[in-house]
Amino acid sequence: MTYDTLVEYLKKEATKRNNTLDINQDHPDPLMIASLYADEFSALICALFSYGNAKAIVAFLQRLDFNLLDVEESMISQALQSYRYRFQTPEDIQALFITLNRIKKSSLSLEKFFLPAYQKHHNVMDGLGALIEILYDVNPYRSRGYQFLLGTIPSAQPTSPYKRWHMYLRWMVRKDNLDLGLWKGVDTKDLLMPLDTHTFTLGKKLGLIQRKTYDFKAVLELSSALKKIDPSDPIKYDFALYRLGQEKILS
């Protein structure tokens, strides 16, 4: 496939898959659940639990009561005492809800923590660093499972792809038939690829990624390659690439 042919193919796939019909019980995606609530707090829970098998992710999210974000902390602890998900214990899940509950009750939005740091250099990693830091600050609870969910505060030279966080930003910033577009202060051109194993493998196969290691440098490489196709909205191709990789259509 020539580069021009590839570009046209990706544009066609992105347009075709920009459709809520492409997300269903047979082809589940955590965005199914995030779209039902369409708020930044529920969406963050959906994004942070988005690791593992897609059907298992959606099944778990469907069991959660997102109204718990608006009740007393004691009610959160009681309601979630039997919930588990892979690396997360009931205490970890309770802690995440309590953390977001505290921020929500303070009448502050997650975007307001993200924006000042992001706007200094239009760097989304700076914004994520500020947001992750405040999540840790408002709740002293720590465990391996809880810290896996939130991730580490990005260093000046991150190594992790931060896939779940970049997916969250895609949902929050982009607005189309799939993405929610709830945040207005972030430019789509600054978004980075929510790189997972499917898009990493396919990106290498299509010649969009040369790097052999699944890491943050691969995120930058694929994001840069997509920016050459659409400088103003490079991550519009994420969902199409993810589905193409998942379905092994180009294998």
Q: Cα separations (Å) of 225 from 35, 222, 243?
A: 29, 5, 18
Low-confidence ranges of the chain (pLDDT < 70): 251
Q: Please report the pLDDT score of residue 251 as a whole number.
A: 60
pLDDT for position 25: 85
Phi-psi domain of 155 (left: phi exceeds 0; alpha: psi -120 through 50; beta: other):
beta
Q: Which two tokens stand for residue 33?
A: 């659940």
Domain boundaries, the chain: 3-246
pLDDT of amino acid 24: 87
Do 202 and 244 form a contact (C-beta atoms < 8 A)? yes
Using the 8-state DSSP alphabet, how is residue 119 labeled?
H
Contact 90, 135 (CB under 8 A): no
Q: Using CA atoms, how far apart are residues 71 and 66, in angstroms rounded to an integer? A: 10
pTM of the model: 0.97
Query: CA-based Rg of the chain, rounded to a whole angstrom?
Result: 18
Give the C-alpha separation, 240 to 249, whole Å: 11
User: Which pLDDT score is estimated for 206?
Assistant: 94
Question: What is the model's pLDDT at position 200?
Answer: 95
The whole-number pLDDT of residue 247 equals 84
pLDDT at residue number 3: 93
The single-letter code of the amino acid at 65 is D
